[in-house]
Structure 1
């Protein structure tokens, strides 16, 4: 049993997968935070674009 525990502690094959999972989690958190902080600005931008396209199309008046 001691050999198994020592071998399990020394085994580093899954470490890189864990590092990638943590890094991916950090990236997701950063993207959500950025999206939340810019959501109003992005909504206003799309509303402006939609309004400009609607007013410039022929027959829309």
Structure 2
């Protein structure tokens, strides 16, 4: 099984967000970050799981 890892810029593209503040909020809410040396990475699997756990159904 191959896991894709994103830097912050690519993670934001994958998530469809433009604000680093939004990504920081996700990280503060529990999105896991992996530090490899001076580099911080986020796995695609972690993003997918985080979004699945934090989705809300909004009804009118």
Q: TM-score, normalised by structure 2?
A: 0.26
- Whichever of the two has the greater Rg, that structure is 1
Q: Work out which structure has the larger RCO, using CA pairs closer than 8 Å and 6 or more positions apart in sequence.
A: 2
Give the structure with the larger strand fraction.
2
Larger helix proportion of the pair: 1
